[in-house]
């Protein structure tokens, strides 16, 4: 990986005003991969002003023109897909097999999806004597996390551009390198100067400058509840539009007539995707008490197949956690779980055999977890699965909804209609029935403390617009 020494502002690589740099660590080796500039509030001001200056002309472009720019961006990203996958595998620790398919592949699908969505325009709506139109929200500040560092940017960038907004992006300081691959693609695609801008840096400086800047019209944030609450508080001072995609503690409910082996296998894979560092991870597995011990045995067998390894090895299914701080956090939760009565079925806090460096931890399954226990209520963000028994369907629903979060989940049953009826009652923004596949054009977001607003597809496009009623 090469060091980056510039910001992307007003269509050009631009020297930062400050002198600070951020070192990006390889979590598998604990060595420095590269450095990027540490942006300042003054850098944010330059980027926002560039976005503001570019907004009128960009907002005036047609849907078809914006669709064509998105197609060019898709082509430029597609040409970098292998480099993107290796970059994310190196800075996040995502196994290359997952980084190629999801970390690099999903953003391509998102950008292509928006290019297609707006290609033929988006019609206005008539309501009585009113013409209801959607207009771009304005200048968008996008503050994004490290766990899916390109997807979480493109899930904001693509709909914002499609809607006619200009944007300033702050990638996570933990994994900012792939954002530079994206800016290279933006530059190659020939987007007008100022439409897309990049300022890496730390949240308390760059993020807060973006959230409070008077020329920013909307803030789109993905990250923790604590940080999201802070962003919303700051944005409220100037009454900005705010979209928040926050945490999750999703339940995977396996009703008593379900195919237990399949449900457990898919559930374990979902919980441990990207080392468990996924906001939608099904980290609570709910199983009927009559099948509980069998489910634990199955979960142990599948979890033991997630052997930690080098993320650049194509056979690796479980890479390191992203940082020492994250490793310590996950270990702390496992210890807390045990102290509150949980049983370690497999895994635990010990360093996996063969690793004298890197932030590795074994895939862990906890049994005998009480639904109110810390490990059943708080987002761990690591490969830790809590298995909880239930006595009947009513109790399963009560446990599934016993969370301050409401982002995702799953339900399994032999009767699909029964599963759908159950899914309708779970207070969560999305839920899979019998392993239903992720749909990048469906709305994505959460209830309760999982956030405000929706991303993806038409619903994500609408998030970056303002409604106007024109009376005729």
Q: Please identify every residue annotated as catalytic.
A: 245, 279
Q: Kindly tell me the burial class for residue 63, based on how many C-beta atoms sit within 10 Å of its own C-beta (0-12, 13-18, 19 or more).
A: middle
Helix (H, G, I), strand (E, B) or coil at 135: strand
Measuring CA to CA, which residue among 333, 426, 423 is closest to residue 386? 333
CB atoms within 10 A of CB 134: 18
User: With contact defined as beta carbons under 8 Å apart, do 123 and 133 qualify?
Assistant: no
Q: Which tokens in the block code for residue 124?
A: 């206005």
Give me the residues paired with residue 24 across strands. Answer: 34
**Closest C-alpha to 211, from 11, 59, 44, 54:** 44
Q: For residue 465, which of 13, 160, 76 has the smallest C-alpha distance? A: 160
Sign of CA dihedral 196, 199, 200, 204: negative
DSSP 3-state of 130: strand
Q: Please check whether residue 310 is in contact with residue 273, taking contact to mean a CB–CB distance below 8 angstroms.
A: no
CA atoms within 13 A on the CB side of 387: 28
- SS3 sequence of 394-435: HHHHHHHCCCCEECCEEEECCCHHHHHHHHHHCCCCCCEECC
Distance CA 181, CA 362 (A): 31
The CA-atom distances, in angstroms, between 103 and each of 2, 345, 419, 456 are 20, 30, 30, 16
**Is the separation of the CB atoms in 84 and 103 below 8 Å?**
yes
Closest listed residue to residue 220, CA positions, set 138, 302, 97, 326: 138
Give the span between the Cα atoms of 28 and 41, in whole angstroms. Answer: 32
């Amino acid at each position: 990986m090469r060091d980056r020494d510039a910001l992307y502002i007003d269509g050009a690589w631009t020297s930062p005003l400050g002198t600070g740099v951020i070192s990006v660590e390889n979590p598998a080796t604990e060595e420095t991969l590269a450095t990027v500039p540490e942006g300042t509030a003054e850098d944010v001001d330059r980027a926002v002003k560039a976005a503001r200056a570019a907004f009128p002309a960009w907002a005036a472009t047609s849907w078809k023109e914006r669709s064509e720019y998105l197609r060019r961006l898709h082509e430029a990203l597609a040409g970098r897909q292998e480099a993107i996958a290796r970059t994310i595998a190196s800075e996040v620790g995502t196994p290359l097999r997952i980084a190629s398919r999801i970390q690099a592949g999903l953003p391509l699908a998102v950008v292509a999806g928006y290019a297609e969505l707006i290609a033929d325009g988006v019609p206005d709506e008539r309501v009585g004597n009113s013409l209801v139109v959607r207009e771009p929200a304005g200048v968008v500040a996008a503050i994004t996390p490290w766990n899916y560092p390109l997807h979480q940017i493109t899930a904001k960038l693509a709909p914002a551009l499609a809607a006619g907004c200009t944007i300033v992006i702050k990638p996570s300081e933990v994994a900012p390198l792939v954002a530079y691959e994206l800016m290279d693609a933006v530059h190659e695609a020939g987007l007008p100067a100022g439409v897309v801008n990049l300022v890496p840096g730390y949240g308390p400086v760059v993020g807060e400058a973006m959230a409070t800047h008077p020329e920013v019209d909307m803030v789109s944030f993905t990250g923790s509840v604590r940080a999201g609450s802070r962003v919303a508080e700051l944005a409220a001072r100037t009454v900005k539009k705010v979209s928040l995609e926050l945490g999750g503690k999703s339940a995977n409910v396996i009703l008593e007539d379900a195919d237990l082996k399949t449900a457990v296998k898919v559930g374990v894979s979902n919980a441990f995707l990207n080392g468990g560092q996924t906001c939608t991870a099904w980290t609570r597995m709910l199983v009927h008490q009559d099948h509980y011990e069998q489910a634990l045995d199955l979960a142990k067998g599948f979890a033991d197949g997630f052997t930690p390894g080098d993320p650049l090895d194509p056979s690796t299914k479980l890479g390191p956690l992203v940082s020492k701080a994250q490793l310590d956090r996950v270990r702390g939760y496992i210890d807390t779980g045990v102290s509150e009565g949980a049983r370690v079925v497999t895994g635990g806090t010990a360093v996996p055999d063969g690793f004298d460096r890197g932030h590795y931890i074994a895939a862990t399954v906890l049994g005998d977890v009480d639904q109110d226990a810390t490990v059943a209520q708080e987002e761990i963000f690591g490969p830790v699965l809590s298995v909880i028994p239930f006595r009947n369907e009513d109790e399963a629903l009560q446990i599934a909804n016993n969370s301050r979060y409401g982002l995702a989940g799953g339900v399994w049953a032999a009767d699909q209609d029964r599963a759908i009826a159950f899914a309708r009652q779970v207070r969560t923004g999305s839920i899979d029935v019998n392993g239903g596949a992720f749909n990048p054009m469906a709305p994505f977001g959460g209830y309760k403390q999982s956030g405000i607003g929706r991303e993806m597809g038409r619903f994500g496009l609408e998030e970056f617009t303002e409604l106007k009623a024109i009376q005729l």
